[in-house]
Amino acid sequence: MIQKRKNPTPPKPPANKRRRRKPGGRKNYQHNKPAEQTKPAGPTKPAVPQIPTFPGAPKLKIMVMGGLEEVGRNMTVLEYEDDIIIIDMGLQFPEENMPGIDYIIPDITSLIPKSKNIRGVIITHGHYDHIGAISHLCPKLGNPPIYTAPLTAELVKRRHEEYKIAPLNIHKINPDTEKLQLGKFNVEFFRVTHSIPDSFGVVANTPVGSVVHTGDFKIDFNPVNDKPIDLTRIAQIGARGVLALLSDSTDAPHSGYQLSETEITGDLEKIFLQSEGRIIVGTFASMINRMQQLIELAEKYDRKVLVEGRSMNTNLEIAQNLGIIKTKKGTIIEEKEFKRLPDNKLMVMGTGAQGEENAVLMRIANADHKFLKIKEGDSVVFSSSVIPGNERTIQSLKDTIYRGGGKVFHYQNMDIHAGGHAKAEDLRLIIKLLNPKYFVPIEGNHFMLRIHGEIAEHLGMPKENIFIASNGQIMEFMKGKNQNETSGRLTTEKVPTEYVMVDGLGVGDVSSIVLRDRRMMADDGMFVVIVTVKRKTGELVGSPDIISRGFVHMKESKQLINDSRDLVRKTVGKAKNKNFDPMFLKNKLRDHVGELLWKKTKRRPMVLPVVIEV
């Protein structure tokens, strides 16, 4: 019997996770209060009582630890009795209200006590939102074996070298032919197309049924420098029966079909045809296929290629070694030859199409590069779509390039028209071919999952079989009394999935309080009041000191500082007492000075009173 339960809609995350989001306009630092990082503390207690089911029947549990409430920090855990496999371990770039944070990684609190059960970590492809947390998390999980395709393996290794810790336990696999037995999970792979080669999807065959995880994918029958997505294979997997499909939702809100990467070649070629000066292309170092495309165009139009930027050179080297990027002898040149050749024989390929700080394009535009700067006649190509949040930075970069004499070619829609992710119609096809019993949209903001869920519903899937989950929310699948029937449910339990923030060498040491203080000081600065008083009596010694930063220009605000100092003196005078309490004085100073500053400036700097007793 199939256990039919109405999926409680709207699927709200449990209260402890329901971060109250107050997105804002400008002064929006005070929003999105991230929860304090939780310390690993053994298995977590279920937040709500379990809904009764078939007691004793072994369950397959799926927990998507990250990527259900954001684009990034993708990580999925499959657990069956004492066996665990993990798919992807990615990072998320920080949100606007997290100043100073480098990135966010998944919370593995619930996994640490079960480390010995982890049979393998499967990495679908080499983008940071799928590999970026490996070096932080694998060492804490007993260094489990990592299984991935050759290019991804090399990218993971290179990134790991930066950490100067014990090497990872990486196994290269051939996704076309290989199968793995990881505990009770029999795992197969299927090639998909994406904006990086060697991307695959995962089929985890379990005693309860087959779970398919697509990874990031698009349907491209004419990819550049890559094999097409293996739809036949996907159809065969579907024909065998799929219990649950976890599928990429990143581009679900966009209707229609994704275009082939081949479509871009035409656009790029136009630039080569019309440019009489140098061609300078900014792109992501991970866009290996775009690199090959550009190199081929350069060869066709008799230009030599200077590759700038450490990450781009590293990735080029890796891809060349694996035979993924092919270049003719002499195409790639160094500084010396670059300087000798005429402009119309040159192409520069570097990082920076997102306006990233210190990226090659930025350094060239700002004339900070050691030998390159923009000059009259340069054609500068932004070869990637704009990541939300970078728009103003890119506008300003374009201004700088135009000021330098360059011309900008920005196919803003280049990666929308031929991006790396399947659009609505593609997603329909994949759902149809795999024909799963349960459907779990993954990899996207909540609204993207919802739209992807609607696509499945329109295809006739029962609404209660579509699980729009929150990060860490536990899904369970088990055999019914009739062994041919399997039922699944989205429970209301969840494992912890707090933000774990990486800042410099610190992992998880920036708490919500630290961030709140950063935002407060960013908005209105701080104001330190230091008074020296006699121990016990609290009588003022000398003059109060005031130090302020980020609040007002001090030299021009003498009156305000004097007024504050007078108020401090008065406050100390009132607080002096036989039973002098420095804590009481501190609070009074904070309140009184804060009030004065607000009245005079309508700003709220952080007021820090310091009472020194001598």
Cα–Cα distance between 472 and 452 in angstroms, integer?
A: 19
Candidate list 81, 176, 335, 509; residue touching a second copy; CB under 8 A: 509
- Interaction between residue 25 and a second copy (CB under 8 A): yes
Angle, alpha carbons 328-332-333 (nearest 5°): 135
Tokens of 76: 């999925």
- Interaction between residue 521 and a second copy (CB under 8 A): yes
Candidate list 4, 8, 23, 573; residue touching a second copy; CB under 8 A: 23
Distances (CA, A) of 415 to 311, 350, 387, 409, 471: 21, 18, 11, 14, 28
- Interaction between residue 312 and a second copy (CB under 8 A): no
Minimum CB–partner distance for residue 593 and a second copy (Å): 15
| Site map (CB under 8 A) of a second copy, residues 469-508, x = contact | ----------------------------------xxxx--
Nearer to a second copy, 204 or 468 (CB): 468
- Interaction between residue 549 and a second copy (CB under 8 A): yes
Candidate list 331, 425, 511, 569; residue touching a second copy; CB under 8 A: 511
Minimum CB–partner distance for residue 366 and a second copy (Å): 6
- Interaction between residue 334 and a second copy (CB under 8 A): no
Nearer to a second copy, 60 or 593 (CB): 593
Cβ partners under 8 Å of residue 581, min gap 6 = 575
Site residue total, a second copy (CB under 8 A): 103
Give the three-state DSSP class for 476.
strand
Minimum CB–partner distance for residue 563 and a second copy (Å): 14
- Interaction between residue 12 and a second copy (CB under 8 A): yes
Beta carbons of 22 and 32 less than 8 angstroms apart: yes
449 to 468, contacts with a second copy by CB under 8 A? 450
CA dihedral 50, 53, 58, 61 (to 10 degrees): -50
Q: Is residue 421 annotated as a catalytic residue, yes or no?
A: yes
Cα–Cα distance between 298 and 269 in angstroms, integer?
A: 9
Q: Terminal CA-to-CA distance of the chain, rounded, Å?
A: 79
Cα–Cα distance between 491 and 494 in angstroms, integer?
A: 8
Q: Is residue 248 annotated as a catalytic residue, yes or no?
A: yes
- Interaction between residue 127 and a second copy (CB under 8 A): no
Minimum CB–partner distance for residue 154 and a second copy (Å): 24
Candidate list 201, 209, 350, 355; residue touching a second copy; CB under 8 A: 355
Instruction: Identify which of 1, 3, 2, 7 has the alpha carbon closest to the alpha carbon of residue 464.
Output: 7
* Single-letter amino acid, residue 410: H
Nearer to a second copy, 131 or 529 (CB): 529
Instruction: Identify which of 214, 226, 153, 156 has the alpha carbon closest to the alpha carbon of residue 189.
Output: 214
- Interaction between residue 102 and a second copy (CB under 8 A): yes
Alpha helices in 322-382, H assignment, sequence order = 335-340, 360-365
Count other C-beta atoms under 10 Å from residue 565's C-beta. 16
DSSP single-letter state for residue 251: T
Distances (CA, A) of 474 to 133, 219, 313, 470: 21, 30, 42, 9
Alpha helices in 40-121, H assignment, sequence order = none
Minimum CB–partner distance for residue 321 and a second copy (Å): 28
Candidate list 6, 20, 370, 578; residue touching a second copy; CB under 8 A: 20
Buried b (16+ CB within 10 A) or exposed e, 115-131: eebbbbbbbbbbbbbbb
Candidate list 1, 6, 15, 26; residue touching a second copy; CB under 8 A: 26
| Site map (CB under 8 A) of a second copy, residues 524-543, x = contact | xxx-x-x-x--------xx-
Minimum CB–partner distance for residue 451 and a second copy (Å): 9
- Interaction between residue 510 and a second copy (CB under 8 A): yes
- Interaction between residue 601 and a second copy (CB under 8 A): yes
- Interaction between residue 38 and a second copy (CB under 8 A): no
Catalytic residue from among 107, 226, 248, 426: 248
237 to 276, contacts with a second copy by CB under 8 A? none
Catalytic residue from among 127, 130, 194, 421: 421
360 to 399, contacts with a second copy by CB under 8 A? 362, 366, 368, 376, 388-399
Instruction: Identify which of 29, 51, 119 has the alpha carbon closest to the alpha carbon of residue 82.
Output: 119
- Interaction between residue 612 and a second copy (CB under 8 A): yes
| Site map (CB under 8 A) of a second copy, residues 406-425, x = contact | --x-----------------
Catalytic residues: 248, 421
